[in-house]
Structure 1
Amino acid sequence: MKTGLIILAAGSSSRLGRPKQLIEIQGKTLIQRAVEYALKSKSNSSIVVLGWNPELIRSGFDSTQIPSFINENWEEGMASSMQVGLRYLMEKEQLDQVTLMLCDQPFVDTKLLDQLILAKKESDKGIVACAYSETLGVPALFDQKYFEEMLALKGSEGAKKIILKNREDVFAIDFPLGKIDLDTEADIERLKDLRS
Structure 2
Amino acid sequence: MPDLPVTAGLLLAAGAGRRYGRPKALVELAGEPLVRRGIRLLSDGGCTPVHVVLGAGADEVPDLPGAVPVRHDRWPDGLGSSLRRGLASLPADVPAAVVVLVDQPLLSPVAVRRVRGAYADGAVVAVATYGGRPGHPVLLSRETWPLLDGYAVGDRGARDLLRDRPDLVVEVPCGDVGSPVDVDTPVELFRLRTVSDA
Question: Structure 1 length normalisation: TM-score?
Answer: 0.87
Q: 2:163 is matched with which residue?
A: 164
Q: Distance in 1 between matches of 2:113 and 2:160?
A: 23
Q: Distance in 2 between matches of 1:111 and 1:67?
A: 22
Q: Is the 8 A contact 1:20 1:104 kept in 2?
A: yes
Q: Select the residue among 136, 142, 157 that pairs with 1:138.
A: 136
Q: Distance in 2 between matches of 1:132 and 1:40?
A: 20
Equivalences, count = 190
Over residues 87-111 of structure 1, what are the superposed CA-to-partner deviations in whole Å (9 max), with x where a residue is unaligned? 110xx23121111111111112322
User: Do residues 55 (structure 1) and 65 (structure 2) align?
Assistant: no
Describe how 1:9-20 pairs up with structure 2 within 5 A: 9-20=13-24
* SS of the residue 1:98 aligns to: strand
Q: 1:100 is matched with which residue?
A: 99
Q: Distance in 1 between matches of 2:24 and 2:97?
A: 24
Q: Distance in 2 between matches of 1:139 and 1:145?
A: 18
**5+ unaligned residues in a row in structure 1: which ranges?**
none
Q: Is the 8 A contact 2:7 2:95 kept in 1?
A: yes
Q: Distance in 2 between matches of 1:41 and 1:187?
A: 25
Q: Distance in 2 between matches of 1:37 and 1:138?
A: 12
User: Do residues 117 (structure 1) and 121 (structure 2) align?
Assistant: no
Query: CA offset at residue 192 of structure 1?
Result: 2.3
Q: In structure 2, give the amino acid aligned to 1:8.
A: L
Q: Select the residue among 139, 145, 148 that pairs with 2:146.
A: 148
Percent of aligned pairs sharing the same letter: 24
User: Do residues 77 (structure 1) and 81 (structure 2) align?
Assistant: no
**5+ unaligned residues in a row in structure 2: which ranges?**
none
Q: Is the 8 A contact 1:104 1:181 kept in 2?
A: yes
Q: Select the residue among 24, 35, 46 that pairs with 2:39.
A: 35
Q: 4+ residue stretches of structure 1 with deviation over 6 A?
A: none
TM-align CA RMSD: 1.9
Q: 1:65 is matched with which residue?
A: 66
* SS of the residue 1:179 aligns to: coil
Q: 1:88 is matched with which residue?
A: 89
Q: Distance in 2 between matches of 1:194 and 1:4?
A: 28
Q: Distance in 2 between matches of 1:95 and 1:151?
A: 19
Q: In structure 1, give the amino acid aligned to 2:81.
A: S
